[in-house]
Every structure is written in structure tokens, then in C-alpha cells.
């Protein structure tokens, strides 16, 4: 049987949702692969919504909004760009191809465009194949989802526009490259920490087991564990570098 991808389509009420409606009313043909969720503005779609969709079995996520400058809430969709950039970073660390997330601007009068976006995205997902149970249940994806809920990450996603276009309160403006480098470092750090936290919650683990399951170097895991211990989130059960065990809670 040929693979039919499942696409979660989160569409803004004022443009893309109306565009999807028009595609139906106008009887434009497109594959029945989307499950539509209506949101008031595309900026309502948080990175965590995207990660959650993949955790729940989606093969692709389509986010649709008004064209830039046409958002019903003036600058809402500019913030969507930052949020989806963050979602792509999280997907990358979760081992999911960024092509599985698509952001498109479709106006209420562009029914034909909506149909062609869905057709094209479905074709691309067919080429990529199903997401796979292993990825859906992976430690990395669960860690990425937990990280996407953290206030630090949510703030970073919404501040992209401010920091790269408008400037901070000291008038400093970062280049997209600088912003990317800073946010990459923060996301990487948060995901590693979350992976270790999840492993500790599952069971007491040795340092070597954690290193193996996270793919991190032993020395790096050791430094993260020191931070956990400093914060009182974990404690040593036995002191031995190679057989260090940590209980779930201090």
C-alpha cells in the first residue's frame, strides 16, 4: 500500500483557513492528507505545537498565515517566522528533517495556491517517507518537546525579530548569524540537559550509560551531572568515575 502522509495544518483564521475553504468551494483537487486546526493568527502556533504533532504521529506540519504586512494583528506573522525558526532548530536536534515543517503565506483569495502547497508538501513527504516509530518515541524528540515548553526558549523564539531587526534596549542589533549562533548554543545545552533529566527520571543511570544513550562524551555528561547535583536535582549513590550512579531525585 502506498504511503499517505499525515499532515497537521495549523492555519490562521483570516487568511490561510479561508484560502483552504475557498480551495474546497472552488473544487480544486488536492490530496486528503491534511488535518486542519484553525488558529486566530499564525503566531499562535508555538514551537511546542509542532513538536507535539510529531510526537503524536504526524509526518509533516504545515503552518499557514497571511502574507507579511497583511496580518490581522499587524506584526503577528513576523513573530511566526522566529517561532518556526526555533521549531526547526528543535527538530534538527531531535533528528527530524526540517523539510517536514513548512511555513506558507496563503491569502483568503488564494484557494488554488493552498491546493498546490498541500499537493507539493504531500509529494515531498512521500519522498521522505514515514517518520518512523523509532523517531516518534526517541529520547531526543521527547527532550526537544520538553525544551520547547521552557520559558527561556519561548522568549528566545519571540525575541528573534526584536534582536535582529528592532534592536534591544541598548540599541544593539544582532545579525541573523550572531542570533543563530547564540540560540543554537542555548538550545543544544537545554536539550542535552533535558535528555539527561529524562534518563534520570526513568531509572538510576551510570555515567557511562548516560553518555552512551545521549551520544555525549563522558566528560561532558560529568559536567552536566555536576550542575544537576549543585541544583539539588540529583545526588551520587556511589562515588566511582566509571560506575557513578544517580538516583532520580536528591
Q: Can you list the alpha helix ranges (DSSP code H) found in the chain?
A: 16-25, 47-55, 76-93, 111-128, 133-136, 139-148, 151-161, 176-202, 207-214, 218-230
Q: Are 145 and 197 in contact (CB under 8 A)?
A: no
Q: Which residue in the set 65, 86, 114, 200 belongs to the binding site for ligand FES (CB under 6 A)?
A: 65
Q: Is 109 helix (H, G, I), strand (E, B) or coil?
A: coil
Residue 191: all three cell numbers together: 536539550
Dihedrals φ, ψ of 58, to 5°? -75, 150
Told to check if 14 binds ligand FES by CB under 6 A, we report yes
Judged by CB under 6 A, which stretch of 71-79, 108-116, 141-149, 175-183 contacts ligand FES?
71-79
Does position 72 interact with ligand FES (CB under 6 A)? The reply is yes
* Cα gap 167→148, rounded to integer Å: 24
Angle at 105 between CA 103 and CA 110, to 5 degrees: 135
Give the binding range for ligand FES (CB under 6 A) out of 21-29, 69-77, 85-93, 224-232.
Answer: 69-77
Q: Residues 144, 60: contact at Cβ < 8 Å?
A: no
Length, in residues, of the chain:
250
The residue count for binding ligand FES (CB under 6 A) is 12
Rounded Cα distance between 181 and 134, Å, is 29
Question: Among residues 41 and 50, whose Cβ is nearest to ligand FES?
Answer: 41
Nearer to ligand FES, 80 or 214 (CB): 80
Q: What's the min distance (Å) between Cβ of 74 and ligand FES?
A: 8
42 binds ligand FES (CB under 6 A): yes
Q: Does 53 help bind ligand FES (rule: CB under 6 A)?
A: no
Q: At its nearest, how many Å lie between ligand FES and the CB of residue 111?
A: 16
- Verify binding: residue 12, ligand FES, rule CB under 6 A: yes
The verdict on 79 binding ligand FES (CB under 6 A) reads: no
Residues that bind ligand FES (CB under 6 A): 12, 14-15, 41-42, 65-66, 71-73, 76-77
Amino acid at each position: 500500500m502506498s504511503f499517505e502522509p499525515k499532515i497537521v495544518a495549523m492555519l490562521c483564521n483570516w487568511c490561510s483557513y479561508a484560502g483552504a475553504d475557498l480551495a474546497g468551494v472552488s473544487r480544486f483537487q488536492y490530496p486528503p492528507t491534511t488535518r486542519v486546526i484553525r488558529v486566530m493568527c499564525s503566531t499562535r502556533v508555538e514551537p511546542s505545537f509542532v513538536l507535539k504533532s510529531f510526537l503524536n504521529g504526524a509526518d509533516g506540519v504545515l503552518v499557514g498565515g497571511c502574507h507579511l504586512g497583511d496580518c490581522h494583528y499587524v506584526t503577528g506573522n513576523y513573530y511566526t517566522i522566529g517561532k518556526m525558526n526555533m521549531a526547526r532548530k528543535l527538530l534538527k536536534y531531535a533528528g527530524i528533517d526540517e523539510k517536514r515543517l513548512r511555513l506558507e503565506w496563503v491569502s483568503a483569495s488564494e484557494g488554488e495556491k493552498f491546493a498546490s502547497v498541500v499537493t507539493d508538501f504531500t509529494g515531498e513527504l512521500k519522498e521522505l517517507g514515514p517518520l518512523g516509530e523509532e523517531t516518534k518515541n526517541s529520547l531526543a524528540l521527547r527532550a526537544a518537546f520538553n525544551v520547547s515548553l521552557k520559558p527561556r526558549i519561548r522568549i528566545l523564539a519571540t525575541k528573534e525579530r526584536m534582536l535582529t531587526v528592532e534592536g534591544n534596549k541598548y540599541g544593539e542589533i544582532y545579525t541573523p548569524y550572531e542570533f543563530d549562533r547564540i540560540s543554537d548554543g542555548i538550545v543544544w545545552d537545554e536539550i542535552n540537559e533535558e535528555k539527561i533529566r529524562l534518563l534520570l527520571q526513568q531509572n538510576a543511570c551510570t555515567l557511562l550509560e548516560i553518555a552512551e544513550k545521549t551520544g555525549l562524551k563522558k566528560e561532558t555528561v560529568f559536567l552536566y551531572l555536576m550542575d544537576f547535583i549543585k541544583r539539588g536535582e540529583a545526588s551520587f549513590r556511589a562515588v566511582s568515575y566509571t560506575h557513578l550512579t544517580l538516583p532520580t531525585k536528591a
